[in-house]
Amino acid sequence: MIAGARERFQKFVADPKMLLPDLRPAVLGVVGRYADQKTWDKLHELGLKTKSIEEKGNFYVGMAMALRPDLAKQTLQLSLTDELPSTPATQLVAGVARTAEQPDLAWEFIQVHRQQLDAKLDAVGMIGFVPSDERFLRSGARGGI
């Protein structure tokens, strides 16, 4: 499955018409989850280039799924940039915690960058962001959800 997703991704990079839009989230998710630095960089490059909000989300979600801690750290840093609108940017943190299985890494990041993350959220988002992630990070994620 991983090899097949990688093959489809390479064809997509060469010609986006080679991967049906309905398959892109799945392929980008698998490729992102098992990414090396070169693949993560390509996902990031494609995410920066696209004009489509949906495609951008697919590329960034793929990056947030990376199992390698070094790539997860790079994805967390993207949440502090202006590459994505505020809400999707902060959702990268939860994505790293949940889908990349890096709850401790995400929690440490939240602790260090709380003010910067809060600045991206409106009042309602600020109230819910860390409490819900804290419950997830401190109990659920480690409990094997």
Residues 6 or more apart whose CB falls under 8 angstroms from that of 67 comprise 33, 34, 100, 101
Higher pLDDT, 115 or 56: 56
Q: So where are the chain's domains?
A: 2-140
Geometric angle at alpha carbon 113, from 108 and 115, rounded to 5°: 135
Phi, psi at 101, each rounded to 5°:
55, 45
Q: Per residue in 48-106, pLDDT tens? A: 999 999 999 999 999 999 999 999 999 999 999 999 888 888 889 988 988 888 888 99
pTM score, whole prediction: 0.84
Instruction: Supply the CATH classification number for the domain 2-140.
Output: 1.25.50.20
| Gap between the Cα atoms of 27 and 6, Å rounded | 8
Return the percentage of the chain with pLDDT > 70, whole number. 83
